[in-house]
Amino acid sequence: METPNEDIGKKKEDSGKTNPKSALSVNPGVADAPAISPYIRDQRKTLTRKEISVAELAEGILSGNRTHLSKAITLVESNLEVHNDKAQAILELVMPKVGNSIRIGITGVPGVGKSTFIESFGSYLLEQNHKLAVLAIDPSSQRTKGSILGDKTRMEILSKSENAFIRPSPSSGSLGGVARKTRESMYLCEAAGFDTIIIETVGVGQSETQVHSMVDFFLLLMLAGAGDELQGIKRGIMEMADLIAINKADGQNEPFAMRARVEYESALHLFPAPESKWTPRATTCSGIGGKGIDEIWKLILDYISTTKTNGYYAKNRENQTRMWFDETLREVVLEQFFMRPGKKESILESEKKLMAGQSTLLKEIKHLMDK
């Protein structure tokens, strides 16, 4: 005999069965689809990411593979020792193909229109069948150490071209407007077949001169009416410029730009003649309208021809390599100094003595060096 509870359970079970004769019948449901496709799940289990070897990366760079070029620059910019070792091995393999480009440094105060100018100037070079690489240095935050790296989005035409390569890089606290590994990145771009390299600096003012030690031609962009006309009589970044271009020389601003050009040319004559035997000049241009872009390129070619003829071109590159060696050597020696066992404790001890007025600065530094 069935109990009441069993009878109720049986009725519920019978009600769940399909009864085609009943209008209230319930069809069996369909199982939910899996969140991840079984095919993709199986692929993830079997697929392993293949690591590209140093030889493959170097071969890809020499054949113009932009993906391999980007990967190699990432290795160059990394702070990991294993990545640095791979980057140096790649550079060693591609070095025979380095040096066959025109290196142009472009700097200027923030807001001068460097990215817009490079977009217009680069488009002109692409029309002349050149291959262009742009290394844009973006300032890094002193607080978060991060960078926006938005230069690529502001160069829409160049970023879509197969003959142009844009690589934004953080300055990572490096002074002089360029990143520590900009020179190595430039070598990789040359090895990849780019015949014109543009280095766009951070744009911080008079101290931004380090880019001059790694390029053939130094272009300084200026603005008319920005209060910088008297800066022409100062030594520094303007003294290093091979060409000063007053940008945004269009519309109502054009007469002011023309007047500024005359003032800058007068100021340039106050500087001693450069070793290159090239007479620095001033001109006007417009990054938006493209005005004066062709003239600037002609002046750059004239400069290259002049310096190659008088021997300064090759001599300058040799001096730049020597300076690069000295700077890198100092960085490595300084790094090794701080990595010595017990050095951190010794430095803290010297700092406490200085703050307490128990010693002098030079005495403590000499004490640390003697250790």
Determine, yes or no, domain membership for 14: no
Q: Are residues 67 and 203 in the same domain?
A: no
Q: Do 74 and 216 have their domain in common?
A: no
Residues 354 and 278 in one domain: no
Same domain, 233 and 88: no
Residue 12 belongs to a domain: no
Q: Does residue 182 form part of some domain?
A: yes
Domain count, the chain: 3
Give the angle 48-50-53 at the CA atoms, nearest 5°. 160
Contacts of 56 (CB under 8 A, 6+ apart): 68
Q: Are 109 and 223 in contact (CB under 8 A)?
A: yes
Instruction: Give yes or no: residues 212 and 253 share one domain.
Output: yes
Closest Cα partner for 101 from 60, 141, 130?
130
Three-state SS for 43? helix
Instruction: Write down which residue in 39, 63, 96 finishes a domain.
Output: 96
Asked if residue 92 is part of any domain, the answer here is yes
DSSP 104-143: EEEEE-TTS-HHHHHHHHHHHHHHTT--EEEEEEEPPPTT
Shared domain check, 269 and 184:
yes
Tokens describing residue 19: 């009864």
In eight-state DSSP terms, residue 281 is E
* Tens place of pLDDT per residue across the chain (371 aa): 555 555 545 544 454 454 555 556 666 666 666 666 776 666 665 555 578 899 999 999 999 999 999 999 999 988 888 998 999 999 999 999 999 999 999 988 878 888 899 999 999 999 999 999 999 886 544 444 334 444 556 688 898 899 999 998 776 444 444 556 889 999 999 999 999 999 988 765 544 567 888 899 999 999 887 655 444 445 567 888 999 999 999 989 999 999 999 988 888 888 888 899 999 999 999 998 899 999 999 999 999 999 999 999 999 999 999 988 898 888 888 888 888 888 888 889 999 999 999 999 999 999 888 87
Domain that holds residue 82: 52-96
d(CA 72, CA 84): 10
Q: Are residues 91 and 124 in the same domain?
A: no
In a domain, 18, yes or no: no
